[in-house]
Amino acid sequence: MTDIPLINPLADESGMRLRPVEAAHAPGIFALVDADRERLSRRLPWVQSCRTPSDTVGFVADSVLRRNRDEGGDGSGDWAIEVPQEAGPTVVGVIGLHDTRLSQHRTAIGYWISSTFAERGYATRAARLVTTHCLDRGLHRIEINVAIDNHPSRAIAERLGFALEGVARCAEWIDGRA
């Protein structure tokens, strides 16, 4: 396993950039979540606890701590997904590493895209970038955990060559139900 940080800037040929989340991203990320709260809360358990801009500041601070291995972080963290637009680069969602175990050379990828920018391939391209980046850094197992009925997200995993290895029943508690 290399000492190169896992969470560093990435980009693809289309101009899409993944930038490690930082405090400056918090207002824009909160605005995306708040505008898309109903849809996102159906799949993501943390949406209910993201009620104010300061909650998003807390998310960013946690991400910075997780990526800092010198301060006890596990090397995981999150990127803001930025895409080129006429008005300049626009954050359209977030992708991150979770449950990272560097000693076991493994991690899991989680992502979400604002409904305004959904179905344009951004999540697939971001997940491809992160997967390649992690493999290049010496990780050998990368998971994408998706609800069985979340067909768009399952399609992303399938497009990237991930294999369905099983179903973990009642794995997340979202909006008062498993």
Q: What is the pLDDT of residues 145-167, one digit of tens each?
A: 888 888 998 999 999 999 888 77
pLDDT at residue 155, as a whole number: 93
Give the count of beta carbons closer than 10 Å to the beta carbon of residue 99.
Answer: 13
Q: What is the pLDDT of residues 20-69, one digit of tens each?
A: 999 999 999 999 999 999 888 888 878 888 888 888 998 899 999 998 88
Instruction: Please give the model's pTM, rounded to 2 decimal places.
Output: 0.89
**Could you tell me which residues come within 8 angstroms of residue 66 by beta carbon, excluding any fewer than 6 positions away?**
73, 74, 75, 76, 77, 100
Hey, CA dihedral for 131, 120, 15, 67, is it positive or negative? negative
Read off the pLDDT of each residue in 79-90 and give the average, rounded to a whole number: 92
Residue 32 tokens, joined: 């995306």
Identify whether the C-beta of residue 6 lies closer than 8 Å to the C-beta of residue 77. Answer: yes
Give the count of beta carbons closer than 10 Å to the beta carbon of residue 27.
Answer: 13
Q: For residue 159, what is the enclosing H or E element?
A: helix 151-159
